[in-house]
Chains A and B, each alone.
Chain A
Amino acid sequence: MNDKPERLIDKKGLRLDGRKPDELRPVKLQVGVISNADGSAYIEHGKNKILAGVYGPREVHPKHLALPDRTVLKCRYHMAPFSVQERKSPAPSRREIELSKVIRESLEPAIFMEYYPRTMIDVFVEVLQADGGTRCASITAAALALADSGIPMRDLVVACAAGKLDDTIVLDLMDTEDKVGSADVPVALMPNLNAVTLLQMDGTLSTDEFESAVNLALEGCRQIYALQKEALRTKYVNLKEENKEEAEE
């Protein structure tokens, strides 16, 4: 029902949603939103709306999967049937299974796996609404949920994608741009350790273009990282201010 747009970047250099090539979509983050989970976070990244919940470390079920010297990290990326234009069946698709794996592998380097042998950490990601870049937004939310749960981590993990539209390297593709553009490069980063924990690409890029794309994505990651820290702070700073006011009354 949608016609393919002719140009993704207009003469003024602006994209379909009015953004400049190196501009991020608006990002909102909230921590501690699911009371049952040990840790949780909610992200709105552009029109993406994603919930992440963490349970653990807890006992391993089934028992034979337990490891004697480390914890088992499990991740489930799942999209709600109403999250996309055409209703998606609730059963896991091959894409969801692959994304569950790469998201897990992007978070694992940040966790001290050897601290809690014979336990399991479950990370659940539910995409309530999707608009391109859900794996990156999922990683950003999942890392916050892990930090919220009190599981010790080396660093937070934050993710952002870059790509190519027409002839320009752009930051943070939305769904329409992703479908019509010529490349998509999602990147996840541990910002303080400067370590890339997820890197994928589909499309075609020269090596120079690839380098620009990755650097642009890392820039985007750092901007979102600042928001992650704010979200964790907000939970506690608000209390401090409330109490200051009470004391001054």
Chain B
Amino acid sequence: MAAVITRVKKKQIEQLIAKGKRLDGRGLTDYREIKIEQGIIERAEGSAKVLLGRTEVVVGTKIEMGEPFPDTPNEGVLTVNVELVPLASPRFEPGPPDENSIELARVVDRGIRESKAIDLEKLCIAPGKKVFVVFVDVYVLNHDGNLIDASALAAMAALLNTKMAKYEVEDGEVKIKLGYEPLPIKKRPITVTCAKIGDKLVVDPWLEEEQVMDARISMAFDDDGNICAIQKGGSGYFEPKQVFEAARIAKEKVEEMRKQLNW
């Protein structure tokens, strides 16, 4: 009996939230317990697992050589892919990425890219010809709500864990040397998602709250407290003052998390 949320439960969640409480006892702006483990997949160049409550996401990074985009010949390439694997939820079906997994990939990508988290210029081998390509593969293993924040955290943790081979260029040929160095990371963006239920904003919605919410808004902040990416999702709407309220809450939560994670 998971697919359809019962009306009784829906009403309960809405009524509680109107009073400033949540069904799992959290405050409106509390996150569930976060656990991060890095380096869990040795075969990947970098990896991390994030548990956000019972939502579980694993990210692996792979580094390969490839061609740069024509409009950024001096920069390496970042590409983010998300798999919502069917075992993670009775609602996920096998097949090519659907709009949810594509949106999630692009939102995670935006946070990393716009904050300039990776020093892409340092990934250039031969301008216009050869660069390093960083693949970030997000694997959602259990969906219990707020895949965006969990995936963004896991992706960043995996990038921080990523090592690339040392190399030198001789006569236009790339020679791999012994040893590794960490991926050049300049910033650590953090994303916070708020859901609108009734006229209240709740941080880190879990699965049932997501089934009840009107809409959600996710905001990524860089190390200096600037917003670098935003995504509103869901078929409901926000009033402008709620948008600013969400930004205020998100900024606070990001500061808290930076202290917790030491990012």
Tell me the A residues contacting B by CB distance below 8 Å: 1, 34-37, 40, 47, 49, 51-53, 55, 58, 76, 78, 80-87, 90-91, 122, 124, 126, 128-131
Contacts and interface: CB of A to CB of B under 8 A. Distances in A.
**Ranked 4 nearest A-B pairs via Cβ:** A82-B60, A53-B87, A124-B87, A82-B44
B176 A129 contact: no
A55 B88 CA distance: 10
Contacts of B44: 82-83, 129
19 contacts: A34-B141, A34-B142, A36-B90, A37-B87, A49-B40, A51-B87, A55-B86, A55-B87, A78-B94, A81-B60, A81-B62, A84-B43, A87-B64, A87-B137, A90-B97, A90-B137, A126-B87, A129-B42, A129-B44
B141 A126 contact: yes
Contacts of A129: 41-44
B141 A81 contact: no
Given A82-B47, A83-B41, A36 B86 contact: no
A180 B243 CA distance: 60
Nearest to A90: B83
A131 B144 contact: no
A122 B93 CA distance: 10
A49 B41 contact: yes
Interface residues of B, number: 33
A180 B138 CA distance: 32
B81 interface: yes
A53 B84 CA distance: 13
Contact of A80 (B56, B64, B86, B139): B139
Nearest to A130: B43
Contacts of A78: 85, 94
A85 B94 CA distance: 24
B89 interface: yes
Nearest to B158: A82
Contact of A82 (B41, B89, B143): B41
Contact of A36 (B83, B88, B97, B139): B88
B151 interface: no
Interface of B: 2, 40-44, 47, 54, 56, 58, 60-62, 64, 81, 83, 85-90, 94, 96-97, 135, 137, 139, 141-144, 176
B248 to A, nearest CB: 33
- Chain B interface mostly: mixed
A216 B93 CA distance: 39
Given A90-B81, A91-B96, 5 more contacts: A36-B142, A37-B87, A47-B42, A90-B137, A124-B86
A247 B188 CA distance: 49
Contacts of A86: 62, 64
Nearest to A52: B87
B46 to A, nearest CB: 9
Nearest to B62: A87
Contacts of A91: 96
A148 B142 CA distance: 17
A36 B143 contact: yes
B180 to A, nearest CB: 13
A102 B60 CA distance: 28
Given A49-B41, A80-B139, A82-B60, A35 B54 contact: yes
A78 B94 CA distance: 10
Contacts of B56: 34
A128 B139 contact: yes
B59 to A, nearest CB: 8
Nearest to B49: A128
A126 B138 CA distance: 13
A36 B85 CA distance: 12
A115 B81 CA distance: 40
Given A51-B87, A82-B137, A124-B87, A131 B43 contact: yes
A51 B41 CA distance: 13
Nearest to B2: A36
A87 to B, nearest CB: 4
Given A76-B86, A83-B41, A35 B96 contact: no
B48 to A, nearest CB: 11
A14 B137 CA distance: 37
Contacts of B176: 1
Nearest to A82: B60
A64 to B, nearest CB: 17
A87 B165 CA distance: 15
Contacts of A85: 43
Contacts of A55: 86-87, 90
